[in-house]
Amino acid sequence: LAAEGLQIVLCQPGTWESKVHYSMRFANHIAQSNYKIVFVVKEWWMEQTLLGLHHIPATTALVAVLANDEAASFELVRRAGMVWNAVVTISPRIHQKAVALLPDLGMEFIPCGIVLPTDAAVCQRRSWELPLRLLYVGRLDQLKGILLLPGIVAICRRWELPVQLTVIGDGPDRELLTDAITEQHVADLIDLRGPQLSDAVYAAMQTHHVLLMPTCSEGGLSFVLIEAQANGCVPIASRLAGSTDVAVEDGVSGHLVAVGDPVAFAQAVARLLDAGRWQAMSRAGIERARHLFSSAA
C-alpha cells in the first residue's frame, strides 16, 4: 500500500489495554485526523467504531462495507442503525440478505474489482496442452472444500484423465489435506507450494489451465474466480447462488457444479480435455473479467 502512495496508520491495541479504552483511542485518531469518509470493512472495526462513536465528529461520514454474509456483520451494522451514511454490499448474495435483515437502511451494491493482468502477460499465457494443469488458490480450510481435491484428482486418475494439480495457500487444515493426499495415493500428481505473493499467483494462473474451487461457503464475490478468468484460467467451482454464479457464467466462462461432489468436478475437468472448448471458455473468461470486474469498471 505504501508503494502505491497510501499512508498507513497502524492502530493496534496494547497488551493490557481494555476494549473500551482502545475504542476511544481509535475514535480519537479519526476525530483528530479530520477524515471526511471512513470505510469500515471488518466486524472488529465495526465494533470499535460503535464503542467510540460519540468521539467521532458529525462531519465524518461512516460507510459500512459488508464483505461477507456472517450474522455478526449484519448485527453490528443493525446496532449502529442510522449512524451509517451508507452501507455497501459486495455481492448479490450479501445484498439480498442485507436488504431482508436491515430493511430500514439504504443499501448500495458495488461488486469487487481486480487489477487486470497486462495484455502481454495474457497473450503469453500457456495454451492448451496435456497433461491439463489444475490449480487451487486459497486458504487450506475444510470450509473451502480442500479435502475434496485429492478425491477429484484420484477420480481423474481412475478415468485416465491426464492432469496435475498445484495447490497454493496455507491454513489450519494443511495437515488434513496432506493426509488425504496420501490416503488417495495421488501425491505424485499434487504439488503443495504454500502461500505465494499476488504476482506469483497471477503467474501460476497464466501457466495453469483450470482453477478448482470446491468451496462449501462463499459470501462475497470470489476474487480468485475473477482473477483466474482474467488470466485465462478456466474455473470449475461449486454452485453458490448469488456468489459463484455471478462471478462465473456457467458453460461459457467456466463450469459450476454441485457442492461437495468430486465426481461432478472430475466430469467438468473431462469436458475441458477438449481443446476447442477450453480455448473458447478461456477467451470468454478474459473478456468477462475485463468488462465486469476490473477496478476501472
Look at strands 190-194 and 107-109 and give their pairing: unpaired
CA 109 to chain centre: 17
> What are the residue ranges of helices labelled H in the chain?
19-33, 43-51, 71-80, 92-101, 119-123, 149-158, 174-183, 198-207, 223-230, 244-247, 262-271, 275-292
What percent of the chain has pLDDT above 70? 100
Q: What share of the chain is helix, strand, coil (3-state, %, to 5)?
A: 45, 15, 35
pLDDT, tens digit (0-9, with 9 covering 90-100), for 65-104: 998 888 888 888 888 888 889 999 988 889 988 999 988 8
Is 90 exceeded by the pLDDT of residue 163?
yes
pTM, to two decimals: 0.84
Mean pLDDT of 17-32: 87
Question: What's the alpha-carbon Rg for the chain, to the nearest Å?
Answer: 22
pLDDT, tens digit (0-9, with 9 covering 90-100), for 57-66: 889 999 999 9
pLDDT, tens digit (0-9, with 9 covering 90-100), for 105-143: 888 999 888 999 999 999 999 999 999 999 999 999 999
State which amino acid sits at residue 128: W
Cis omega (within 30 of 0) for bond into 195: no
Q: Are 202 and 121 in contact (CB under 8 A)?
A: yes
Q: Are 221 and 111 in contact (CB under 8 A)?
A: yes
Nearest CA to 112 among 88, 128, 131? Answer: 88
Is 80 exceeded by the pLDDT of residue 216?
yes
